[in-house]
Amino acid sequence: QVQLQESGPGLVKPSQTLSLTCSVSGASVSSGSHYWSWVRQPAGKGLEWIGRIYISGSTNYNPSLKSRVTISLDTSNNQFSLKMYSVTAADTAVYYCASNDYYAGWLDPWGQGTLVTVSS
């Protein structure tokens, strides 16, 4: 079955760049039937969609984050990545990657999530 796994630093300093990678197994990121999304969740709060990417390279981003976010694909390693620039403490959250149905947009499955703390 499809599995996703996030990886990356758990601690990032303010004003620096948050970089996370999502490794996909059981499916190809080159598949035309999926987008690949990132979602985050601050402690004790709800879910916030960050953005998604398709094999064509097409991306969609949350307008509130668009100026600071880049999502990219690495087809050779079957991964996709998130970069968030100029982070602040407000970006502290659990970050999830998820497979995103191309036609109707549901998110399934999700990675287990990784906590990123922004602190000096």
d(CA 59, CA 74): 14
Question: What residue type is assigned to position 97 of the chain?
Answer: C
Q: Does 82 sit near other proteins (CB under 8 A)?
A: no
Which residues inside 49-68 make contact with other proteins, applying CB under 8 A?
49, 52, 60, 62-63
Query: Which of residues 48, 68, 70, 83 is near other proteins by CB under 8 A?
Result: 48
To other proteins, the closest distance from the beta carbon of 16 in angstroms equals: 26
Report DSSP letters for the chain, one per residue: --EEEEES-SEE-TTS-EEEEEEEESS-TT-TTEEEEEEEE-TTS--EEEEEE-TTS-EEE-TTTGGGEEEEEETTTTEEEEEE-S--GGG-EEEEEEEEETTT--EEEE---EEEEE--
Site string for other proteins, 19-38 (x = CB under 8 A): ------------------x-
Q: Does 47 sit near other proteins (CB under 8 A)?
A: yes
Q: Does 107 sit near other proteins (CB under 8 A)?
A: yes
To other proteins, the closest distance from the beta carbon of 117 in angstroms equals: 16
Applying CB under 8 A, which residues contact other proteins?
A: 37, 46-49, 52, 60, 62-63, 96, 101, 104-113
